Every structure is written in structure tokens, then in C-alpha cells.
Amino acid sequence: MTVTTYIVDKDGNQIDASTATVPTDRHFRGAWSLSGDVISEDLDEAKSIFANKVREARTPLLIALDTDFMKAQETGASTTQIVADKQALRDAPTAGDSATSIAELKAAWPSCCGDSPYA
């Protein structure tokens, strides 16, 4: 009995994995699009995945900054840097919007969100 492995793209199209040309990078697996026997990455879908990954990374950082902000207010300390850091995190999901390739998108990881998962 032979077992066949199929790859399903973002639109539900499927292909026998042994006959497909598959991207070596699987970071944007959810953005794969099938055209004939070639699987490529849909850049718009990859940008959406990227933005969601940034949102995931920034959540604990925003929570920590919220705590720092409250402590600063209680003690009368300056909140200027905290406010700026929070704004940078709020803006972070758009960091990849201008990317024109998957390589540019991966390089666009905002430093305010910590180490890039694409490094």
C-alpha cells in the first residue's frame, strides 16, 4: 500500500507533495498558493501572517508597559518614554506593509518586538 502526502494551499487546492515544487521556507506556510505544480507564497497573505505574528509578540510587551505606566503615574515619574514605546508597539504590525518580497517582509521585523522569528 502506498501512502500519498498532499499539500493544501491557502485556497484549499491540493497537490501530491512528491510532484510539487515547494518553498524551502515554511514561515509563511499559510500563504502558499498553488499554480500548476509550483507552490509560491502570496505576499498579501504573508503580510497578514506577519502582522498577526507581530501582534502576538507585542502583547506581553504592551502589558508590561501598561504596568510601568501605572507605576510611573503613582510615583509621579515621567511617562514620556513609556508612551513612546507603547506607540511604537501599536505601530509595529504595519512594519511589513511596504515589503515587495518575502525576504523584505522577513527583514522588516520591528526591533521593538524583540528577536525576529525569521532570523
pLDDT in tens, 31-69: 999 999 999 999 999 999 999 999 999 999 999 999 999
Q: What share of the chain is helix, strand, coil (3-state, %, to 5)?
A: 55, 15, 35
Q: How far is CA 1 from the centre of its chain?
A: 40
> What pLDDT digit, counting tens, does each position of 65-94 carry?
999 999 999 999 999 999 999 999 999 999
- In three-state secondary structure terms, 41 is strand
Binning pLDDT at 50, 70 and 90, where does residue 1 land? confident
Domains of the chain, by residue range, sit at: 6-41, 43-113
Say whether pTM exceeds 0.85.
yes
